[in-house]
Amino acid sequence: MDWAPIARIAIRYIVGAIIGMDAGATLAGDPDVVTVVALAIGMVVEVAYGIAKRKGWAT
């Protein structure tokens, strides 16, 4: 799955709420920041999947 669109949205709103909308828009346009956040989102999803599999939850 391509996490970049989700990462851009997350960056824009989270950073925008904390620092300001201008900074959020700037960081959301930076491909390096988007890549790092997209990788972090992917890692969180995979860890959650692993935990769910280990505990026998629906996956």
pLDDT of residue 2: 79
The pair of structure tokens assigned to 40 is 């972090």
Q: Whole-model pTM above 0.75?
A: no
pLDDT less than 50: residues of the chain: none
Angle at Cα 45 formed by Cα 16 and Cα 42, nearest 5°?
Answer: 65
Give domain limits for the chain: 4-53
Q: What is the pLDDT of residue 43?
A: 92
DSSP character at residue 37: H
